Amino acid sequence: MAQKTISLAFLAILGTISVSTQAQLLGRRSSWQADIHIPKPDTPGAEISSIDPGSPLDQAGFLSGDIIIEVNGELVKDVNVWSDITYGLRASETTKIKVLRGSKTREENVLFDPLAKEQHEGLDTYYEEVSSTFGITQRIIITKPQKSGKLPAVVLIGGLSCSSIETYSGRRGTNWGKTIKELVEKSNMIVLRIEKPGVGDSEGDCSQSSFLMDLEGYRSAIRFLKAKPYVDTSNIIVYGSSMGSALAPLLANEFGLAGVISDGTFFKTWYEHMLEIERRILSFKGNNESQIVKKMNRYYIPLYHGMLIEKKTYQEVVETYPALAEYNYHDPEHMYGRPMAYYQQLQDFDLAGAWEKVKVPVRILRGTNDWIMSSFDNKMIIEVLERNGHKDHLLYEYPKLDHWNTIHENAKDSFEGKPGKWDPGTVNLIIQWAQEMTGMRS
């Protein structure tokens, strides 16, 4: 790719940006630089729909319409394998790609470009790494205002999915990505993020890593942050989104953090939570109440009881009750891209008990159109806090917001994947809460 001339204006901006790559052991991730359709159910292969001109795939002679069937000798048999392969792309390693073009195969070795690192005007950006007790080395990203002295900090804990917490240029956008970028650039605070095992530059395999592996990574990241000389360790708060919102009070209790912000949280066990989701989905799909009761009793209660209580895979449960196959939309050994072990460990983990022990300020954000997390769960948390004498807590239900930081007219529109709107008021509220908890705003 041709070298671009850097203007004097850009150099002036660059003077206010700092990117550190201290102690780099992890290889830098890459991207396909192409639009590729994920594998279809029961059909191997991922079809290329377009390729960025001049990209490594383009230079290697691949074409739109080619179907990627193997990467480094691994068959692209389903969406989970494809996800692992995509997250595993590294700029420092040659990748062997086999495609099907018409009725013939073609194979080439490709050396992908490294993904550009984040840069933020007025912030120092540190790409570092930490290892957990599971022996997995994970990417840490710390953004820090260019100020002297010890500064307050936010620990960001994301959801359960295998999506990156980077805000690199060219990321195919989501409103969650916008939320991260706004928090980093506008909070005037240190922000710590950690990539899950197998995500971003991190070692591991996200589709096989468990709940406890994720949790140990978060713990290691907080210890890492507290050792930094520029951090005011008495003024660290935790902001958790989705699954991270349920972990936030636990981490605040363990590390003596200064506050908890939970965004899109739940309170009950994962078994109860999944049954509530299935009930809502059945309603969205037009089932009447009698049909819902019948399907819950005959199909979804046995399905999730087998998985979460009896500790079976979906495939094992379906083999026992073949009629469930029609209603099971998860993979044989995965749900939402994570392995059964993740949810089985989560089921047994006492997340609700952590709320009873919270002493620091608590702020909870829930969207009124969030069909993933129930309003009642959020109100249960407030009841528990009040019952235990907690004095500083607030639940705010943001009008029309769904679970993915997007405004919709109703929850069903969100469920059906209709386009929504970005509202910066949500992250502005989160920043306001964070600054109030750390004394930056009265």
Residue 335 clears pLDDT 60, i.e. is over it: yes
For 101-105, the CB contacts below 8 A with 24+ separation are 101/63, 101/65, 101/66, 101/67, 105/69
Range with lowest mean pLDDT among 164-178, 214-228, 373-387:
164-178
Question: What is the pLDDT averaged over residues 364-371?
Answer: 97
pLDDT-wise least confident of 150-164, 263-277, 318-332? 318-332
pLDDT of 134 reads 96
Least reliable range by pLDDT among 66-70, 314-318, 387-391: 314-318
Instruction: Give the range among 39-43, 62-66, 97-101 with minimum mean pLDDT.
Output: 39-43
Alpha carbons 266 and 246: distance in angstroms, whole number: 6
Domains of the chain as residue ranges with CATH: 1-26+117-442 (3.40.50.1820), 34-111 (2.30.42.10)
The pLDDT confidence band at residue 170, using thresholds 50, 70 and 90, is: low
Helix axes 425-437, 175-186, angle to 10 degrees: 40
When pLDDT is cut at 50, 70 and 90, the band that residue 18 belongs to is very low
First to last CA, the chain: 51
Out of 3-17, 22-36, 166-180, 425-439, least confident range: 3-17
Q: Where are the beta strands (DSSP E) in 243-346?
A: 259-263, 334-335, 338-339
Mean pLDDT of the chain, nearest integer: 91
Distance (Å, rounded) from C-alpha 397 to C-alpha 238?
Answer: 19
pTM for the model: 0.88
Which pLDDT belongs to residue 9? 37
Contact at 8 Å (CB) between 245 and 263? yes
Q: What is the pLDDT of residue 169?
A: 66
pLDDT of 132 above 90: yes
Reply yes or no on whether the pLDDT at 7 is more than 70.
Answer: no
| More confident: 289 or 333 | 289
